[in-house]
C-alpha cells in the first residue's frame, strides 16, 4: 500500500491541510468548546513537520510513534493526548515495517480508536472524534469483507462514512469534553475533533 517515504509525504500533506483549516476548526470549537482546536492542531503539526527530516529513514511504527509523542508535547489541548495516543497506538500496532498493507492500516486505525477510547474514557454517540473514526473503520472493514482490496477505494468508503459521522455529531448532545458543559446548546453543531479526523483521513485517501 504505502512505504515509509510515502508516509512522510502524507504527513506533510496532513500538516498542510490542518494549517489550511486552522481557522475553520477553531471556529467550530469556538461555538461548542474552548476555541483552540485549529490553533492547537496547527501548532502540533508544525512541530511534526520539523521532525520529518529526522524520521525519513525510520520504519512506519517509529514514525507514527514519534508523531504521537510530538503531538502530546506540543498541542496543548485535549487533541494532544487524544491524537497523540491514537498515533502512538497505531505505530505500535503497525510495528517495525517499512511498507504497509491495507490490513496494517485497518489494524492501526483499530488500535488508534482503542487508544482514544481509553484516553478519553469515551465511546461513540458522545459527540467526539470517535463518531467519525468508528464509522470510518467499520465502513472500510465492510468494504474489505465484500472482497474489495483497492486501497483508494477502501479509504474512500471510510472518508464517506467519516463525513456522515461528522454530520451525525450535529444531532448529538456532547457528554464528553468541554462541549459537555453546554448541554443542549451543543446540538446542531458539528464536532471539531470528528471534523479534523475526517480531514486527516481524506488527506491520506487523496495522497495514495
Partner 1 sequence: MVGIVIVSHSKKLAESILEMTKVMAPNASVCAAGGLDDGSFGTSYEKIKNAIETVYSPDGVVILMDLGSAVMTTEMVLEEYESDKVVMADAPVVEGAIIATVYAEQEKSLAEILVELQNVRSTPKFTCD
For partner 1, the binding residues (CB under 8 A) are: 34, 36, 40, 72-73, 75-82, 84-85, 119-120, 177-178
Instruction: Count CB neighbours of 188 within 10 A.
Output: 10
Query: Closest by alpha carbon to 10, among 155, 157, 191?
Result: 155
Q: How far is the CB of 19 from partner 1 (least distance, A)?
A: 18
Q: How far is the CB of 199 from partner 1 (least distance, A)?
A: 20
Q: How far is the CB of 76 from partner 1 (least distance, A)?
A: 3
5: region left, alpha or beta (phi > 0 left; psi from -120 to 50 alpha): alpha
Q: How far is the CB of 147 from partner 1 (least distance, A)?
A: 40
Closer of 179 and 201 to partner 1 (Cβ) = 179
Q: How far is the CB of 181 from partner 1 (least distance, A)?
A: 9
The DSSP line for 58-77 is S-HHHHHHHHHHHHHHH--S
Grid cell locating 75: 498541542
**Distance between CA atoms of residues 183 and 151, nearest Å:** 40
**Distance between CA atoms of residues 193 and 131, nearest Å:** 9
Closer of 36 and 59 to partner 1 (Cβ) = 36
**Distance between CA atoms of residues 18 and 10, nearest Å:** 12
Closer of 40 and 169 to partner 1 (Cβ) = 40
Query: Closest by alpha carbon to 82, among 169, 153, 176?
Result: 176
Closer of 70 and 143 to partner 1 (Cβ) = 70
Cβ density class 134-148: b for 16+ within 10 Å, e for less: bbbbebbbebbeeee
Q: How far is the CB of 119 from partner 1 (least distance, A)?
A: 6
Closer of 92 and 138 to partner 1 (Cβ) = 92
Closer of 33 and 135 to partner 1 (Cβ) = 33
Amino acid at each position: 500500500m504505502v512505504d515509509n517515504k510515502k508516509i512522510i509525504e502524507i504527513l506533510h500533506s496532513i500538516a498542510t491541510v490542518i494549517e489550511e483549516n486552522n481557522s475553520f476548526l477553531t471556529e467550530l470549537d469556538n461555538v461548542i468548546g474552548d476555541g483552540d482546536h485549529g490553533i492547537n492542531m496547527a501548532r502540533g503539526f508544525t512541530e511534526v513537520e520539523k521532525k520529518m527530516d529526522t524520521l525519513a529513514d525510520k520504519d512506519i511504527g517509529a514514525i507514527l510513534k514519534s508523531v504521537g509523542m510530538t503531538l502530546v508535547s506540543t498541542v496543548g489541548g485535549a487533541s494532544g493526548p487524544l491524537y497523540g495516543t491514537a498515533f502512538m497506538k497505531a505505530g505500535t500496532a503497525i510495528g517495525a515495517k517499512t511498507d504497509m498493507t491495507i490490513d496494517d492500516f485497518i489494524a492501526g486505525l483499530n488500535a488508534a480508536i482503542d487508544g482514544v477510547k481509553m484516553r478519553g474514557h469515551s465511546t461513540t454517540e458522545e459527540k467526539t472524534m470517535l463518531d467519525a473514526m468508528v464509522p470510518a473503520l467499520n465502513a472500510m472493514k465492510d468494504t474489505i469483507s465484500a472482497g474489495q482490496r483497492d486501497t483508494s477505494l477502501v479509504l474512500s468508503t471510510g472518508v464517506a462514512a467519516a463525513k456522515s459521522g461528522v454530520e451525525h455529531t450535529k444531532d448529538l448532545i456532547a457528554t464528553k469534553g468541554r462541549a459537555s458543559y453546554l448541554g443542549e446548546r451543543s446540538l446542531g453543531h458539528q464536532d471539531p475533533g470528528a471534523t479534523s479526523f475526517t480531514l486527516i483521513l481524506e488527506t491520506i485517501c487523496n495522497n495514495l
